[in-house]
Structure 1
Amino acid sequence: MQSVTYFYREPRKTGVSIEGIFRLVKDCLKGKVEIKEFYCDPALSRYQNTMLAGKHADVINHITGDVNFLALGLRGKKNILTVHDMGHYDTLKNRSKLHFLIYKLFWFQLPLKYVDIVTVVSKFTYNKLTEYFNFPEDRIRLIYDPVKPIFQYSEKTQLHNVPRILMMGTGVHKNLNGLLEAAKGRNVHLDIIGWPSDADTAKLKDYGIAHTLYSKLTDEEVYTRYKECDIMFMASFYEGFGMPIIEAQSVGRPVITSNIGAMKEVAEDTCLLVDPTKPEEIGAAIDRLINDRGLYNEVVQKGLKNITPYQYEIIAQQYAEVYEELSRL
């Protein structure tokens, strides 16, 4: 049986998307691959965690994301690095040149010297990795993120009298402002998971937009929000993948998403695609789904077909094949 150690960032109560992905993979590969886990210690420096990671090196080591620098402590071993997105890299270079150079060196330039295979979760990230760092394409594997099995289909027989639109996340790149401008003057209710900025909160009040705010939800509570909503909104300016698209489609809800980057890649023709910089396009997409039940049902059915490649059994098998490939090197 192959032996692999997963290397994670420090334990956390929220924002555990990476950990959730690889726990699914681990559970699915039980009895086929022996998987151990290493978590960074928040009480230690990055240097100390890097040295500690080296002491836990296995036959195969998989850095699961967000702690790329750990590869420096695993030099000489068989290593895999998963890169989920390049969003922080792309935005940091416009904010702080010094921080950008440090991040570039310790998250990418040096770690990439000590890994054998990089897995990416979208062709969008694949292209950026090769463009920015000229990383050999024959050492990159495209493996999508898996959808959690809790997100099961739930038929929507009738829309709410005041249609409910769900939005996941409130960072600037999520484009809450675009949704608020689109919702202005429309009879809709926004379910927002996250912490809107003071400016967005003021706009919600000024525009008189009906809304409910949620935070720190469990998977079960998120599933409830998907079931309760009529439309999922994810027209972000940037995403490394866009898992809420697949989750909403799994539950049977139509999605409005961006016509750019990884979102367009994941959605293809199974969502309503909009320019995220144009609230009028977002508003028009909302109106189309609310007023045309035939279109609504068509988008739902396309979404249910789109989710097949993202089933966790398929994703786990793809990782198993990478481990097998690496074991032969």
Structure 2
Amino acid sequence: MVIINSKFLVQNITGVQRFAFNVAIKLAKLKNDNLLFFMPNKKFNYFYENLFKENIPIIKGYTRGIIWEQIELPFFAKRKKAIILNLGNSGPIFYNKNVTIIHDLLWLKYPEAYSKLFTKWYSFMIPRLIKNSLKVITVSQTSKRDIVDHFKIAEDKIAVIYPGVDRSVFKPLNLERENFILWVGSLKFYKNVHGLIEAFKILKQNYKIPYKLTIAGYGVGELRGKIDEKIRDDVDFVDKVKDEILLKLYNRALVFVFPSFYEGFGLPPLEAMACGCPVVVSDTGGLPEVCGDAGIYCNPQDPYDIARAIYEVISSKELRGSLIKKGLERANLFSWEKTAREILNIVKELL
């Protein structure tokens, strides 16, 4: 028996929750009788409605939060003599039959992006969770190196399984490309939206480009009043980022830019490539593993280099055409079904 730690069903959407949801959907469609979803006693996020349409057994517990994950979940699993599959960076630290996915160590690299309580809890929880996991899975070779180096664990205890992209959702729509640069993400410091805004200012001042910048993500509207008035009229904000809205943005943008200081993987560039949108990304973290030769790279620490990379793409129709072709081919290498099957194969070997 395998119990899916379904805490993600009650959480807000970030890349980790999107990963968990897409893997869960594919696991559910495999119709494996040994899989059971167990969630906290809390209202689920509307984003996950499709999972409930799969007619799979989803059991709701009696508690929520840390009490649910650290006490009720392992007690439930012990009664079932089950392995717990933790899809999103956390799990019961005193249960010794975990398979745990750790996406990255951002809470260590950029603690200022998180609350002190969150950082302290993860500093306590993660090493113990790793110790009590039969297998650790991560999303890139970059993240694997970080985990091995920091926690001093054997390399063969960690498997790398890349996330996927849903090409039934993210696909070319043959819409006319418009003159705007797109960024999608959260306002966490390491996402470096401030560096992109500075690069956009350089593009307007030094290159005199007639383009706009669109910033999309939950809560991004709070940046509106912080934008330099010289470029404020050329910066648009999209607070609602449901998949159908993202699909149109990826299909209309002239270029997608993702200049993060660090990413364990980075789903937005993959989604953009799947939609036929050229991408400019940082040359750090797991992003080169995502984009391969299908992206233009920049130094995220240097707004002038970000501006240089963007201008290289927007000024050349030939380059954009080449990036679109390579990006679509690159995106075809990633699928959620492949991700789910590889995870399930690891779990089956441990049963």
Q: Fold conserved (TM > 0.5)?
A: yes
Picking from 236, 241, 263, the partner of 2:287 is 263
Distance in 2, matches of 1:26 and 1:94, equals 32
**2:113–2:189 Cα contact (<8 Å) kept:** no
Tell me the residue number matched to 2:273: 249
Secondary structure of 1:261's partner? Answer: coil
Deviations 1:280-301 (A, max 9, x none): 2222222222221111111111
Change (3 A) 1:6 1:216: farther
**2:195–2:301 Cα contact (<8 Å) kept:** yes
Picking from 18, 31, 52, the partner of 2:72 is 52
Unaligned runs of 5+ in 2: 43-62
Picking from 203, 209, 227, the partner of 2:227 is 203
Tell me the residue number matched to 1:29: 30
Deviations 1:27-85 (A, max 9, x none): 3422x4542112234664514531100132153220111323x242x33xx32000111
Picking from 305, 318, 324, the partner of 2:342 is 318
1:92 aligns with 2:111: yes
1:80 aligns with 2:99: yes
Distance in 1, matches of 2:229 and 2:340, equals 45
Structure 1 residue ranges (4+ consecutive) displaced by more than 4 angstroms after TM superposition: 93-102, 197-200
Shift of 1:128: 0.7
Which structure 2 residues correspond to residues 283-294 of structure 1 after superposition, within 5 A?
A: 283-294=307-318
**1:8–1:65 Cα contact (<8 Å) kept:** no
**1:62–1:79 Cα contact (<8 Å) kept:** yes
Unaligned runs of 5+ in 1: none
Task: Compute the TM-score of the two structures, normalised by the length of structure 1.
Answer: 0.87
1:128 aligns with 2:152: no
**1:9–1:66 Cα contact (<8 Å) kept:** no
Distance in 2, matches of 1:304 and 1:100, equals 38
Tell me the residue number matched to 2:11: 12
Tell me the residue number matched to 1:104: 123
Tell me the residue number matched to 1:39: 39
Secondary structure of 1:110's partner? Answer: helix
Distance in 2, matches of 1:325 and 1:56, equals 22
Distance in 1, matches of 2:102 and 2:338, equals 19
Tell me the residue number matched to 1:175: 192
Tell me the residue number matched to 2:216: 193
**2:263–2:285 Cα contact (<8 Å) kept:** yes
Percent identity reads: 24
Change (3 A) 1:87 1:197: farther
Structure 1 counterpart of 2:211, which letter? V
Change (3 A) 1:201 1:241: farther
1:116 aligns with 2:134: yes
Q: Which of 228-237 and 250-259 deviates more?
A: 228-237
Picking from 299, 305, 317, the partner of 2:323 is 299
Structure 1 counterpart of 2:325, which letter? Q
Change (3 A) 1:87 1:95: closer
Change (3 A) 1:273 1:33: farther
Deviations 1:75-127 (A, max 9, x none): 3xx32000111101222289898874542121x22111211001100111100
Tell me the residue number matched to 1:232: 256
Distance in 2, matches of 1:311 and 1:96, equals 33
Q: Which of 147-156 and 259-268 deviates more?
A: 147-156
Distance in 2, matches of 1:222 and 1:243, equals 12
Distance in 2, matches of 1:191 and 1:98, equals 33
Tell me the residue number matched to 2:156: 138
**2:255–2:278 Cα contact (<8 Å) kept:** yes
Distance in 2, matches of 1:95 and 1:174, equals 13
Picking from 158, 161, 166, the partner of 2:182 is 166
Structure 2 counterpart of 1:171, which letter? K
Structure 1 counterpart of 2:88, which letter? G
Structure 2 counterpart of 1:38, which letter? F
